[in-house]
Each structure stands twice: as C-alpha cells, then as structure tokens.
Amino acid sequence: MGHLVGKDIYRNLGKKIDNLSVRTPWNETFHAILRELYSPEEADVVVRMPFGLSRFAKIVKITGYDKTRLQNILEGLTYT
C-alpha cells in the first residue's frame, strides 16, 4: 500500500479535520499549521486512522504500516 507524501497529505488531513464537529476551511495558514504540527508520515497515519477508538491491529491493517514503525509514529504523536 503506497503512502501519501508531500502537499497532498496535508490537504487530506485538513479534509479529515474539517469533518469533525468544528469546521476548518482550507487556506495557506491552516496548511502551514498542519505542516508545523505533523510530519508527512504522521499526517498520513492520521488521515488513514478511523475516527473512533480502534485496536492497534486494526490500525496496522488500515494504514498498511509495519507494526514497529506505526508504534513509533503513534508514540511520536503523543509527545509534545
């Protein structure tokens, strides 16, 4: 399964966030914020993840990432 990279992944992340309860119109400022907060790989994982709680095995299957790599990405998303 190919992973999205570059500018398109941030637009897809913006669309996913826009489907949450608070609307987020796409613009250059929003794009810059997403690029600051997420690496392309992190953005790709977030875009692929389901909205609700899911078991790790399901997220591995959905994202197509190797278990170890996915665990590292998810752990990186939890630290500030």
Per-residue pLDDT of the chain (80 residues; tens, 9 = 90+): 455 556 688 888 888 888 777 777 889 999 999 999 999 999 999 999 998 889 999 999 999 999 999 999 999 998 75
In the chain, the number of structural domains is 1
Residue span of the structural domain in which 51 resides: 7-78
Structural domain contains residue 1: no
Structural domain contains residue 2: no
SS (H, E, C) the chain: CCCCCCHHHHHHHHHHHHCCCCCCCCCHHHHHHHHHHCCHHHHHHHHHCCCCCCCHHHHHHHHCCCHHHHHHHHHHHHCC
Distance (Å, whole) CA 22 – CA 67: 32
Structural domain contains residue 14: yes
Q: In the prediction, which pLDDT does 80 show?
A: 58
Structural domain contains residue 43: yes
Structural domain contains residue 52: yes
pTM of full prediction above 0.75: no
